[in-house]
Amino acid sequence: MARWDPGAPERLRQAALDLFDEHGYDAVTVTQIAERAGLTRRTFHRYFPDKREILFAGSERLPPAVAEAVLAADPGLAPLPAALSALREVGTAVSGMVTDSGRRRAVIQSSPELLERERSKSAEVTAALRDALEQRGAGSTEAHLAARVSSIVSEEAFARWADGEGAFTECFDAAETALDAMLAENT
Amino acid sequence: MARWDPGAPERLRQAALDLFDEHGYDAVTVTQIAERAGLTRRTFHRYFPDKREILFAGSERLPPAVAEAVLAADPGLAPLPAALSALREVGTAVSGMVTDSGRRRAVIQSSPELLERERSKSAEVTAALRDALEQRGAGSTEAHLAARVSSIVSEEAFARWADGEGAFTECFDAAETALDAMLAENT
DNA sequence: TCTCTGATGTCTCACTGTGTCATCGCCAGG
DNA sequence: CCTGGCGATGACACAGTGAGACATCAGAGA
């Protein structure tokens, strides 16, 4: 009925992923993505502020989700365990929802520009975690350190999961164990 | 005698820092920086691949320095202590050489684009650390985790140092102590 | 039913700024 | 004098933004 088909953002996402797969991230222009989705360059920028961002669609929901999970955790937990339980919970949910994760990962790994952006996304989650931990009563530096250490575990878990090393919770356990082992070994 | 004055990179660096201070990072164009340094936009890009990079001049020397310090550390040390000692050593040297660190820091904090780039620079150091630890015989994940945890300490130390909380080594000790305290508290 | 109105999605221009390529000119060692 | 290499220049493709026109849709009122 509409003059334009609905679902423009998702159409753009698919078009972009296909083109990146085919020609490489750098060789693809925003105009090409928009054209394949039946839209114009200007419309691309309505939904995504820049070209990198189309590979991280939906990531803005992660920081609030993590913050909420931390605040919902057992108030008796110390900062680090609270953060870990929140990241385990959110990570499990995310690992069940994500689509195209393999192709997406391959494209991101292929471009420094995209790795840079991915680190920013991680940093946003870590910052939300830090703020939520402070809100639970942790001291400023304690919250910061717990947020960063727990983020290492979570990222290690995601890496293992993406490499097909089992269910996300198993990967998370393994990552936690590996960290404990490394920390215990300090001669 | 030369047709052009020598020291073009340093002149560009100063011009950029002054302009960023005065008008803010976003409002300054590469052309303006180059003109203030008596050069052209194209020449700017001869020395710095992009506009952000001028705030991180010399940073390419850090990863090799850290790697070297790790490989020179006592071979009996476990990965984490080895990494920490290397970062303490290199950090102390850097904290003594850096110029304009206050202005530089202020500019970087003001722009998401620059924070993003700073994280990349950190990641390069962490990657060099990880590789060097592996070369010392640490396992792959152990090296990775030790590199990341030690980087947290080092960054925390730099933050304290930049806030004027004393000499770099003192800040490093304090950061290490804070991390140990946070880790010990796990109920 | 018809029309008006506000909200929304899209397109067209037009512009600034970044980053790169092909090319040209100056300098020093032969 | 000439020739190889470094530095400068002009031209170009693309990213990202702003203003404005227009089509569609939903809802209110005649």
DSSP conformation letters of A111-177: -HHHHHHHHHHHHHHHHHHHHHHHHTT--HHHHHHHHHHHHHHHHHHHHHHHTT-S-HHHHHHHHHH
Asked if pLDDT for residue B7 goes beyond 60, the answer is yes
What pLDDT, on a 0 to 100 scale, did the predictor assign at position B4? 52
pLDDT at B50: 92
Cβ neighbourhood burial of B26 (10 Å; 0-12, 13-18, 19+): exposed
CB atoms within 10 A of CB A148: 23
Picking from B49, B31, B42, B38, the residue whose alpha carbon sits closest to that of residue B4 is: B38
Taking only the tens of pLDDT, chain A with its 187 residues reads 345 666 789 999 999 999 999 999 999 999 999 999 999 999 999 999 999 999 999 999 999 999 999 999 999 999 999 999 999 999 999 999 888 888 999 999 999 999 999 999 999 999 999 999 999 999 999 999 999 999 999 999 999 999 999 999 999 999 999 999 999 998 7
Over residues B178-187, the mean pLDDT reads 93
Considering only CB atoms, B152 lies closest to which of A117, A148, A181, namely A148
Mean per-residue pLDDT for B22-33? 93
Q: Which residues contact B119 (CB under 8 A, 6 or more apart)?
A: A116, A119, A120, A123
Q: How open is the CA angle A45-A91-A144, to the nearest 5 degrees? A: 85
Give mean pLDDT, residues B138-162: 97
What are the structural domains, with CATH classification, of chain B?
7-54 (1.10.10.60), 58-185 (1.10.357.10)
CA–CA separation, A129 and A66 (whole Å): 6
Task: Please count the residues of chain A.
Answer: 187
Question: What residue type is B128 in one-letter code?
Answer: A
- Taking residue B135's Cβ as centre, other Cβ atoms within 10 Å add up to 12
- Eight-class DSSP state of B31: H
* Residue B38 pLDDT: 86
CA-nearest residue to A181 within chain B is B142
pLDDT tens per residue, range A86-122: 999 999 999 998 888 889 999 999 999 999 999 999 9
3-state secondary structure of B55: helix
Confidence (pLDDT) at B100: 86
Which residues lie near nucleic chain D, judged by CB under 7 A?
A 1-3, 29-31, 41-42, 45, 49-52; B 4, 8, 39-40, 42-43, 46
| Mean model confidence pLDDT for chain B | 92
How large is the average pLDDT for residues B151-180? 97
d(Cα A103, Cα A96) in Å, to the nearest integer? 16
CB contact under 8 A, A120 and B119: yes
Quote the Cα angle for A183-A184-A187, to 5°. Answer: 100
Option in B78, B119, B187 nearest A187 (CB) = B78
Whether residues B120 and A115 touch (CB distance < 8 A) is answered with yes
Distance CA B176, CA A68 (A): 29
pLDDT over 60 (residue B5):
no
Reading the block at residue B178, the tokens are: 């804070």
Q: What is the pLDDT of residues A71-88, one digit of tens each?
A: 999 999 999 999 999 999
Say what the pLDDT of residue B6 is.
58
